[in-house]
Amino acid sequence: MTVPTTPAPTLANQATTSSAVSTAPLPAVARHLNCDHPDMSQLRSQSTTPLQAPGSHHAGIVSAEPALTESVSTESARAEPAPVKRRLSVLAAAGSGTRLGRHMPKALVEVGGAPMVLRALRGLDAAGITHIAVTAPTDALVDFEQLIGSALPDLSATVRVVAGGASRQASVAAGLRSLEQFRPDARTPVLIHDAARCLTPPALIDRVARAIENGANAVIPTLPVTDTIKPLASGTHIDEGDDALSPLDPSIDRSRLRAVQTPQGFTWDVICRAHEYGASRAADESSAATDDAGLVEALGLTVMSIAGDMMAFKVTTELDIALAQACLDHGYAPDA
Ligand code: CTP
Ligand code: MG
């Protein structure tokens, strides 16, 4: 295996910036995930679980390692080998699925006879993602390893299973740390994806990756919202089934609102900086960012959008399971 050894450049002049963050000295990529920031220290204690794949020659890597260099044709035999395009991904699958209420990790729940995590993994693989870190609940690591190990013969990507964290944000940070071994450079695309969006079309994943490859720094798929959205007045809340009266603030102009999906695409440098900057929020879900684009926004960088896809909806409740099953039954999503 030949891993490009391009020194990790800094992020000078990347992205539209609007805060002091953009003028601060920008650390080298390698430091982002090895840094001594106190909030990253907890990630270092989380395990990265190596799997043994049949025929694998790379400890900890659970599929045939895609070549990182290509041989050249006879006409250009003296030319430097062209680097193969790398596309990295963190597949967030370490959630407990509280709202689904199945008393098992949501990513292991089957839709159309296949666990959601496998459907999502196959979607990333089909879209040309070359290196994937799957986050798994700490107490279900063995189950995830076995399941994903059994799927390897059909996958091209290199896959690692890593222990997730207390929040989705912490899980993604753990996944990013494990991807560092593939020595991405500053502009290598990294797609952060939810296993719960298990029917996401590979075409959407590919479009997000291409947007990064074509020069964007942070790109997310979004859809128009179909409901009118009104904010609760500050400090108020409505519990499920609650008939107590709660005041609302005026509606937000619906035409400007977009519902956000995954995969969310970033350059390696931008996503690492965002997670480092927001690391103190990751301890639990109440303070954590609900998506990675939110962390990038906190850096003062502009996040761009492309059109999302209705099939990238997130499975959260039993109603969503029924919807996913119906989509498969009616051919809206290809079976995997
Ligand atoms: N996730 C994760 N690590 C966490 C929490 C969530 O990797 N600590 C992943 C989930 O597995 C899921 C995605 O992030 O694929 C989106 O999270 P969500 O839909 O909220 O899933 P859960 O957290 O599992 O569900 P719930 O909030 O109902 O418990
Ligand atoms: Mg959750």
264 lines ligand 1 (CB under 6 A): no
Q: Is the CB of 93 under 6 A from ligand 1?
A: yes
CB-CB contact of 157 with 132 (8 Å): yes
pLDDT of residue 80: 73
| C-alpha neighbours within 13 Å on the C-beta side of residue 117 | 33
Q: Which two tokens stand for residue 175?
A: 């996944």
Centre of ligand 2 to C-alpha 95, Å, is: 6
Residues 6+ apart with CB under 8 A from 251: 228, 229, 230
Atom of ligand 1 nearest to the CA of 95: 24
Percent of residues in the chain assigned helix, strand, coil, to nearest 5: 35, 15, 50
Nearest-CA residue for atom 21 of ligand 1: 95
What is the reported pLDDT for 82? 66
Q: CA gyration radius for the chain?
A: 20
Question: Which one of the ligands is nearest to 92 CA?
Answer: 1
- Ligand at shortest distance from the CA of 171: 1
Other Cβ atoms less than 10 A from the Cβ of 204: the count is 22
DSSP three-state, residue 281: helix
**Centroid of ligand 1 to alpha carbon of 167 (angstroms):** 8
Ligand nearest to the CA of 197: 1
Query: DSSP H helical segments within the chain, as ranges?
Result: 29-32, 38-44, 116-126, 141-151, 168-179, 202-213, 268-277, 292-298, 318-329
Q: Is the CB of 196 under 6 A from ligand 1?
A: yes
**How far is 149 from 194, CA to CA, in rounded Å?**
19
Which tokens belong to 193? 């994806």
Pairing assessment for the beta strands 110-111 and 158-163 based on DSSP bridges: unpaired
CB 197 within 8 A of CB 97: no
User: Phi/psi at 307 (nearest 5 deg)?
Assistant: -65, 130
pLDDT at 54: 36
Q: So what's the pLDDT on residue 83?
A: 65
- Centre of ligand 2 to C-alpha 8, Å, is 33
52 lines ligand 1 (CB under 6 A): no
Q: How many CB atoms lie within 10 A of CB 199?
A: 24
Distance from the alpha carbon of residue 202 to the mean position of ligand 2, in angstroms? 24
Q: What span, in angstroms and rounded, lies between the C-alpha atoms of 255 and 29?
A: 38
- pLDDT (tens place) for every residue of the chain, 336 residues total: 333 333 333 222 233 333 322 323 333 333 333 333 333 333 333 334 434 333 333 323 344 343 333 333 334 456 777 667 899 999 999 999 999 999 999 999 999 999 999 999 999 999 999 999 999 999 999 999 999 999 999 999 999 999 999 999 999 999 999 999 999 999 999 999 999 999 999 999 999 999 999 999 999 999 999 999 999 999 998 988 889 999 999 989 999 999 999 999 999 999 999 999 999 999 999 999 999 999 999 999 999 999 999 999 999 999 999 999 999 999 998 776
Of 83, 59, 109, nearest to 3 (Cα)? Answer: 83
pLDDT at position 32 is 39
Peptide bond connecting 263 to the previous residue in cis, omega within 30 degrees of 0 = yes
pLDDT attached to residue 78? 63
Using DSSP, state whether 96 is helix, strand or coil.
Answer: coil
Q: What are phi and psi of 222, to 5 degrees?
A: -135, 160
Cβ atoms 107, 196 nearer than 8 A: yes
